[in-house]
Chains A and B, each alone.
Chain A
Amino acid sequence: GENVEQHPSTLSVQEGDSAVIKCTYSDSASNYFPWYKQELGKGPQLIIDIRSNVGEKKDQRIAVTLNKTAKHFSLHITETQPEDSAVYFCAVRPESSASKIIFGSGTRLSIRP
């Protein structure tokens, strides 16, 4: 079945700097790649997603890139702010099982003032 690896598990960056989180997946037929942000005491919130026919997508300070050949995708947050501190999860929807989603293990991002 599909396997998703996420790195790093923890990340600390200075406020205003950029943060990058990377994920790799195993099923080359997977075609949908969302990213979620989870704050303390809340459920995951969808922040950006990308489909396999697109290489990059941007939404203000957040961008996601996808390399289908290498089977990896990344989340980029620029000009980080204190409210970006949270746990971020990448996820993959396998083509073979379109109604379920496989999550990475999460990255705890801390923004230093």
Chain B
Amino acid sequence: KAGVTQTPRYLIKTRGQQVTLSCSPISGHRSVSWYQQTPGQGLQFLFEYFSETQRNKGNFPGRFSGRQFSNSRSEMNVSTLELGDSALYLCASSPAQPREGQYFGPGTRLTVT
């Protein structure tokens, strides 16, 4: 079974721009979660989607948003990029409930200049 895939793997953007990251979960997985990883703050939960509905959200500003499609693929969007948004953005999928175990993709490395 193919793992979680994320595109693109690397991205360089300028302050003020917006960006969209994509995640394809493991086949059959319906829950997709997004995390931001930085050296200073570690791994922080952004949001989780299940059946196209956001079930939970972390403590991030409204510039961070996401959505999930009927095939469980998910996208996250960051508008008005700031330097502090530079991070590794990780997507994780699980069958139904995240308590069943989450499986991470390789991440998208976003650099904001």
A113 part of interface (Cβ distance < 8 Å): no
Most chain-A CB neighbours within 10 Å: which of B35, B102, B103? B102
Segment at the interface with A among B60-68, B69-77, B93-101: B93-101
The answer to whether A44 touches B90 (Cβ under 8 A) is: yes
Contact stretch, chosen from A18-26, A62-70, A95-103: A95-103
5 smallest CB-CB distances across A and B, nearest first, come from: A43-B104, A103-B43, A99-B56, A99-B55, A99-B48
The answer to whether A42 and B98 touch (CB under 8 A), given A89-B43, A97-B56, A99-B50, is no
Q: Which residues of B contact A34 (CB under 8 A)?
A: 101-102
**Interchain CB contact (< 8 A) of A44 among B43, B45, B99:** B43
CA distance A93 to B105 in the complex (A): 19
- Are the CB atoms of B106 and A98 closer together than 8 Å? no
Task: Point out which of B45, B99, B103, B106 has the most chain A C-beta atoms below 10 A from its C-beta.
Answer: B99
Q: Would A105 and B42 count as touching, CB distance under 8 A?
A: yes
B25 in the interface, Cβ–Cβ < 8 Å? no
Pick the contact of A49: B45, B48, B50, B101 (CB < 8 A): B101
A: contact size bracket: 20 to 34
Which of B43, B92, B101, B103 has the most chain A CB atoms closer than 10 A to its own CB? B43
Q: Indicate if the CB atoms of B103 and A46 lie closer than 8 Å.
A: yes
A to B CB contacts below 8 Å, 6 in the list: A42-B106, A43-B4, A46-B102, A100-B98, A101-B33, A101-B98
| B22 CB to nearest A CB, Å | 15
In angstroms, Cα B106 to Cα A45, docked, is 10
In the bound complex, CA of A97 to CA of B31 (Å)? 14
B16 within 8 Å of A (CB atoms): no
1/0 contact string of A76-113 vs chain B (CB within 8 Å):
00000000000001000100011111111110000000
Residues on the A chain within 8 Å of B107, using CB: 42-43
